[in-house]
Amino acid sequence: MDSMAGDEVTHATIIFPVVLVLLVAFLVRVQQRQSDLTRIPTVGPSRFPLSYIGAVQFLFHAERLLQEGYQHYKPSAFKVARFTRWIVVITGPRLVEELRKAPEDEMSYDATTDSKELTSTGIHVDIGHIAPLSTHLTRNLPLMFSEMRDEMVTAIGDAMPNVSATVSAIDASTEIFSRVCNRILVGLEVCRSPEMTVLNKQFLEGKARGKAILSALPMYLFIALRGRVNRVRSLIEPMIAQKPEDFGMFGKEYPHGILSSLIAADSSNPKASRHIADAILALNAHAIPALSLTFTHALYHLATASPSDVVQPMREEVEAAVGRGGWTPSALERMRRIDSFLKESMRVSGLHALTMLRKSRTDYTFSDGTHVPKGTILAVACAATHADPSKYPSPQTFDAFRFVQGSGQAASRYQLSTTAPDFLGWGYGRAACPGRFVAAVQMKMVLAHLVLHYDVRLEDGAGDVRPRDWWVGSERLPDLSARLMFKKRR
């Protein structure tokens, strides 16, 4: 007994000073980083250790702090505290353009990927594989259109089997987008596998609910997904290795040879098909939560929109567009109101308060004299830009047809998938979302179908107020528990 107590004392006497030294070294490093940035104004307490209060404030009130910084310091920069570092927030078109144009060897964008979370699931994350998959999908979109639509109609029918169905908005969205996206990625059989849908629901929960508890937690929630990731991978990998020509997006009918070029790039690697399967899983982990959360925000706007001023005009537009030759890519292009509705939803209820996350690889000075040392994390205030009255009159109003403007070429400036310094929902510049064209087509297709075939309202007893959004750090989540009533129209 005595010797065990002695061991505990010895461990404590060794561990405690080591932890203390590491903690002090960490705090000193944080302080050094802080002194490098003292010339940049701070929102919240700036002095160490009070800056930690700022980090706690950021966890709960990021949107307000960023809004405050944007109003005070636009068109320059300000900083906000996180637990381990500062984020320098760039505002105003001139500096945003400078950040966009900064070469990769000066501003890297490794900061954009959720690779740490994904790596903890055992997925091999290689953006060199993931981004080309998105580009391949975009190039083949017109060819894949009818397959996506077929899957969408079946998935919506399965999610809302009765004439009137009251369902969880987030669950229905995740199921629909998991199937539509994966129908073209991995084919009919795997896209309908319950394992695939459940994995995507868990990716979403890992991101959304995990962040709700503490921003450090998702990584641990993701570790719990290892088993399911392995099971889904074992559905995909053998199909790539054995019969690529029959497999989803790689099939012969889709040109641009994505599979052969990915395998050639990885030819010396015996794990090539494993890596491609993992690229597909990594793409799922980003694309399905992004699509489902974005679309759930839009569904809440739809359920509370005016039936005569918003829903009916969209319905008439869809009827006119498909009446001229059915459901085709060009019919979707003619749906300007549907496009604008989704874009306005992303403006008002976008998923991120910060975008264009970058890390300086060298000391860097902006044209207004703002100087950041090597290793600084920078970002652009997305939500505050979207709420700027000099860019959007009455920015707090959800104006469904705000972006129905111009005609011909001029109209494309206002399109859902177009990035701009004042529309940052997809990021902006070289690292802007390469899947945005696919995402825009899929969301438009689903919204147009729902508007045409269903009346969508909040569930009985929920009143007529849009379910509340909530912020976790710099992420905006829709209400994950709200249910909507979908009533089939004759």
CB nearer to ligand HEM: pick between 44 and 425: 425
Sole window of 27-35, 91-99, 128-136, 476-484 interacting with ligand HEM (rule: CB under 6 A): 128-136
Return the residue of 427, 467, 473, 478 that touches ligand HEM, per CB under 6 A: 427
Return the residue of 46, 57, 108, 113 that touches ligand HEM, per CB under 6 A: 113
- Pair of tokens at residue 337: 């109101």
Cα distance between residue 71 and residue 387, in whole Å: 10
Return the residue of 51, 134, 296, 340 that touches ligand HEM, per CB under 6 A: 134
Cα distance between residue 321 and residue 330, in whole Å: 8
Point out the residue whose Cβ comes nearest to ligand HEM.
Answer: 435
Q: State the burial class of residue 73 (Cβ atoms within 10 Å of its Cβ: 0-12, 13-18, 19+).
A: buried
Return the residue of 221, 431, 447, 485 that touches ligand HEM, per CB under 6 A: 431
Sole window of 166-174, 212-220, 290-298, 480-488 interacting with ligand HEM (rule: CB under 6 A): 290-298
Q: How far is the CB of 329 from ligand HEM (least distance, A)?
A: 16
Return the residue of 127, 143, 188, 198 that touches ligand HEM, per CB under 6 A: 127
Return the residue of 112, 370, 376, 385 that touches ligand HEM, per CB under 6 A: 112
Cα distance between residue 300 and residue 467, in whole Å: 7
The answer to whether 34 contacts ligand HEM (rule: CB under 6 A) is: no
- Pair of tokens at residue 77: 């920069």
The answer to whether 131 contacts ligand HEM (rule: CB under 6 A) is: yes
Q: How far is the CB of 427 from ligand HEM (least distance, A)?
A: 2
Sign of the dihedral defined by the CA atoms of residues 256, 258, 261, 265, in that order: positive
Return the residue of 43, 62, 137, 450 that touches ligand HEM, per CB under 6 A: 137
- Residue 249 contacts residue 276 (beta carbons within 8 Å): no
Interface map 382-401 toward ligand HEM (x if CB under 6 A):
--------------------
**String of b and e for 103-142 (b: at least 16 CB within 10 Å)?**
eeeebebeebbbeebbebbbbbbbeebbbbbbebbbebbe
Q: How far is the CB of 320 from ligand HEM (least distance, A)?
A: 26
- Is residue 191 marked as binding? no
CB nearer to ligand HEM: pick between 356 and 482: 356
Who contacts 328 (Cβ-Cβ below 8 Å, separation ≥6)? 145
Residue 15 CA, chain-centre distance (Å), reads: 41
CA–CA–CA angle 72, 82, 21 (5° rounding): 140
Q: How many residues bind ligand HEM (CB under 6 A)?
A: 28
CA distances from 338 to 84, 217, 294, 301 (A): 42, 37, 14, 12
Q: How far is the CB of 286 from ligand HEM (least distance, A)?
A: 5
Short-list 420, 416, 439, CA closest to 428: 420
User: H or E segment at 79?
Assistant: strand 77-81
Ordered DSSP codes for 43-72: SS--STTTHHHHHHHHHHHHHHHHHHHHHH
The answer to whether 437 contacts ligand HEM (rule: CB under 6 A) is: no
The answer to whether 433 contacts ligand HEM (rule: CB under 6 A) is: yes
CB nearer to ligand HEM: pick between 30 and 450: 450
Cα distance between residue 481 and residue 479, in whole Å: 6
CB nearer to ligand HEM: pick between 54 and 187: 187
CB nearer to ligand HEM: pick between 298 and 303: 298
The answer to whether 218 contacts ligand HEM (rule: CB under 6 A) is: no
Return the residue of 187, 435, 467, 473 that touches ligand HEM, per CB under 6 A: 435
CB nearer to ligand HEM: pick between 39 and 116: 116
The answer to whether 380 contacts ligand HEM (rule: CB under 6 A) is: no
Interface map 329-368 toward ligand HEM (x if CB under 6 A):
----------------------x---xxx-----------
Cα distance between residue 337 and residue 67, in whole Å: 29
The answer to whether 129 contacts ligand HEM (rule: CB under 6 A) is: no
As a three-state string, the secondary structure of 318-337 is HHHHHHCCCCCHHHHHHCHH
How many other CB atoms sit within 10 Å of the CB of residue 199? Answer: 23
CB nearer to ligand HEM: pick between 145 and 315: 145
Q: How far is the CB of 127 from ligand HEM (least distance, A)?
A: 5
Q: State the burial class of residue 220 (Cβ atoms within 10 Å of its Cβ: 0-12, 13-18, 19+).
A: middle
The answer to whether 290 contacts ligand HEM (rule: CB under 6 A) is: yes
- Residue 373 contacts residue 79 (beta carbons within 8 Å): no
Alpha helices, DSSP H, located in 324-435:
329-334, 336-348, 382-386, 409-412
Could you list the residues known to form a binding site for heme, using ranges.
433
Binding site for ligand HEM (CB under 6 A): 109, 112-113, 127, 130-131, 134, 137, 283, 286-287, 290-291, 294, 351, 355-357, 425-427, 431-435, 438-439
